[in-house]
Amino acid sequence: MQKNTKKSNKKLYSLELVIFVVIIAVAISSFVGGMTGYIASEFTNADDWFQLKGNSTEQVLTQEIKDNSNNLSTNKIKLSVEEVVKKSGPAVVSIVVSKEVTQNYQNISPFPFDEFFGSSWPFAFDWPQFEQPESKTEKQRIGAGTGFIISKDGIILTNKHVASDAEAEYQVVLADGTSYIANYLGADFINDLAVLQIEGEDFSYIRLGDSEDINIGETVVAIGYALGEYSNTVTTGIVSGLGRDIVAGTYNSSENLDNVIQTDAAINPGNSGGPLINLEGEVIGINTAVNREGQLIGFAIPINTAKYVVESVQKYGKIVRPFLGIRYIMINEAIAQQNNLEVDYGALIVRGQSQTELAVMPGSPADKAGLVENDIILEIDDEKLTIDTTLAQKIAQYGPDDTIKLKVYHKGEEKIINVDLVEYED
């Protein structure tokens, strides 16, 4: 009997222990659950929690937008293509170029035989002549392109081959159909850039990015007035190449463009002057040319090249450029070998294709400093000139009243020349 009693007590103790453990576990679980709920509630309601209320993209973008005089944005947020277009589209404008064109009239005979045979025809008569109206002018559309607003006060960047005539009229049409007549502020004679401005305030504008911070393969968006007919057409692609040097132009003129961005985003006539935009919603290039011999080979001027234009317009109300006064080509290894040059870098001063295109402009700063044809400018202020750092890029960093130091290779010898730059005037 005693043995059975001990066994019964042992079972009783085991049951009490189980009940005690269960109670402790439930208590701990309740406490932990309550604390977890409290902590989660506190963080969910905290102002510095990552979750954003409402439209998170718009909230963050609103916080990161700066005045465009600072040029760059510090917050980098990847957007979808749809978000890029929604954000940037309102700042892209269509440009219609018109000009007064003279219509000439001839005082001709109403009879076709006189017109065909002329007055020497033996049977010609002195027919009465109809009076024709005098020559008159009428406004005609002579071109179209794209631009984009870069400031709240309506400054517009575009291509020089879109807007280069101070006598023309530039009608700017916003994405919502609102139309303005723009003021022509000038064109850059070195790069294919021009600036217009529409009157008003608080316009939508696009932030300027950093074209030095571009990677081959990254996604880009192009927006423009395709074919001069389809406004705010959107195409997408990637950055296909960097640092391209091309010769672009129309049937009657051409221009060397250095260090341009290559893209496979579809660019058509009318897209000229439109923005090439990254997925941060920043302009990294200005669409300017397309190679029609291939497929989807387009080019854009890096936005950093245009920043001096923006700064000049904001400071002077026009484009102010320093002027050196030479024609040149940048030397690479191939040019050096073909021409037996003793150096394989620098800017070689050369004539143009015609006799009137002199290597050194008479009376220019270069002329006054003694630079001559076939001189090679090796350095500017101790910085070597190469294909990646061209003469035009380097000169653009200076003002029209600056003095620069040139290292020049002249007839087998190196020498140092100081040149006083002046303001370029059309």
**What residues are annotated to the active site?**
161, 192, 272
Residue 302 class from Cβ within 10 Å (0-12 exposed, 13-18 middle, 19+ buried)?
buried
Decide if 245 contacts 302 (C-beta within 8 A): no
Q: Is the dihedral of CA 38, 44, 46, 49 positive or negative?
A: positive
Q: Please check whether residue 337 is in contact with residue 320, taking contact to mean a CB–CB distance below 8 angstroms.
A: no
Q: Which helix (H) or strand (E) holds 196?
A: strand 193-197
Q: Are the CB atoms for 155 and 199 separated by under 8 Å?
A: no
426 vs 422: CA distance, rounded Å:
13
Q: How far apart are CA 68 and CA 423, in angstroms?
A: 25
For residue 200, the SS3 value is coil
Question: Residue 349: in which H helix or E strand, if any?
Answer: strand 347-349
Tell me the three state secondary structure of residue 28.
helix
DSSP conformation class of 90: G
CA distances from 425 to 162, 324, 418 (A): 20, 12, 22
Nearest Cα to 193, choosing from 246, 148, 251? 148
The H-or-E segment that residue 147 falls in is: strand 136-149
